[in-house]
A and B are shown apart, each in its own frame.
Chain A
Amino acid sequence: MSAPAEPVVPSPSGPSDHNVVEQGKFWIYIQIAMLLAVITGLELVTVYLPFLKWLLVTVLVVLSTVKFMFVIFYFMHLRWDKAFCTILFFIGLVLAGGTMWALLQLFGADASKPLSSAMAEAPAALVQAA
């Protein structure tokens, strides 16, 4: 909860340093937006490349993660904010990622295959076995 209003204090590094950072942000944002557009283009090209699927999936995941990190650390200011904001957000992110991983592992197992899908695949498997 907020304490009674106090005078605004300058950053520990001093007002002049703070101003230089604020002025420089404009060009940082422009450069990052261009970079994000280029990465999106690369992602599009990647899906049409004739390489192994696991390699392409890895490349796509890495490129998306790079985009994700640039947005949260620069556009969302995590780079300049207190570390607690990063920790708080990453708690949610890790929980979400962990849940996704666990669900995909659980439902990716053969035992969890829906009966309708398993039955549809059965004749094809029998033909292959024969």
Chain B
Amino acid sequence: MSTAAATIDHHHDASTSTGIPNKKLLMWAFLASDCMFFGCLISTHLIYRLHPPPGTLPAKQVFSIELTSFSTFILLMSSLMMALAVNAIQKGNLKSLRWSLLTTILFGCIFLGCQVYEFREFVFVKHLTITNSILGTTFFTLTGTHGLHVLIGVIWLSSMLIYSFTGRLSEKDAIDVESMGLYWHFVDIVWIVIFTAVYLLEYL
């Protein structure tokens, strides 16, 4: 552990009027607004689930709980690796940071792969598309938007991993990694809600 780690307080910033690093404050404000965005998408899905039009395919026949549970587990583990990455940069341990980022990217890619497989199955095997039913429209819009967030996160993580090899990333830049971590954990908590509200409720 470097000596600077003993003096840097990564949770408070005396140079700002709020005592919170500006980048962190910005990220929390963005995440609060994104809560409302996903809240509306989840509500829309649940509302149309209340009154499905006649002839709608039961969602239970379409969903694969095994695949979704695996995706959930993968995303939870990616959150753990992201937390370890933030912990590593706060201690100035670049080697550990790189491994943690790489594992997070890998888990993110596995999650995206599962989602692509799931979408493919729904469209080509179960004939559920974004245009042929309300379930398809709300489901693909919601999970697709979440998937897009994961993809953006993977690109951001990859950029940070590459940047860490330039030699310009150090312990004092921990806030950049932490902001990215906040975004990634947010993607995880949105999935926690989607997993229950969209998938598990169909099995009751």
Contact = CB atoms under 8 A, between A and B. Distances in A.
Interface in B73-114: 73, 76-77, 79-80, 82-84, 86-87, 90-91
Contacts of A43: 195-196, 200
Given A60-B196, A64-B196, A75-B82, A103 B36 contact: no
A117 B203 CA distance: 22
Contacts of B200: 43-44, 46-47, 60
Contacts of B83: 25, 29, 74-75
Contact of A71 (B9, B47, B188): B188
Given A29-B84, A71-B79, A8 B9 contact: yes
B203 A33 contact: no
Main secondary structure on A side of the interface with B: helix
A5 interface: yes
B177 interface: no
A103 B43 contact: yes
Contacts of A77: 11, 86, 178
A67 B27 CA distance: 21
B122 interface: no
Contacts of A56: 204
Given A36-B76, A67-B192, A89-B31, A82 B50 contact: no
Contacts of B5: 19, 22
Interface in B140-177: none
Interface in B37-96: 38-40, 42-44, 46-47, 50-54, 65, 69, 72-73, 76-77, 79-80, 82-84, 86-87, 90-91
Interface residues of B, number: 68
Given A71-B192, A81-B11, A116-B54, A88 B29 contact: yes
B204 A88 contact: no
6 tightest CB-CB pairs across the interface, nearest first?
A: A92-B32, A96-B39, A33-B80, A120-B54, A92-B35, A47-B203
Given A32-B80, A75-B188, A84-B18, 6 more contacts: A5-B15, A11-B11, A26-B87, A76-B186, A81-B24, A100-B40
Interface of A: 1-6, 8-11, 15-16, 18-19, 22, 25-26, 29-30, 32-33, 36-37, 40, 43-44, 46-48, 53, 56-57, 60-61, 63-64, 67-68, 71-72, 74-77, 80-82, 84-85, 88-89, 91-93, 95-97, 99-100, 103-104, 107-108, 113-114, 116-117, 119-120
Interface of B: 5-9, 11-12, 14-20, 22, 24-25, 28-29, 31-36, 38-40, 42-44, 46-47, 50-54, 65, 69, 72-73, 76-77, 79-80, 82-84, 86-87, 90-91, 178, 181-182, 185-186, 188-189, 192-193, 195-196, 200-201, 203-204
27 contacts: A9-B9, A9-B14, A11-B9, A19-B5, A33-B79, A40-B73, A56-B204, A60-B196, A64-B195, A67-B189, A75-B79, A75-B80, A75-B83, A75-B181, A77-B86, A80-B11, A81-B11, A82-B12, A82-B18, A84-B20, A92-B35, A93-B35, A95-B36, A99-B43, A100-B42, A107-B51, A120-B53
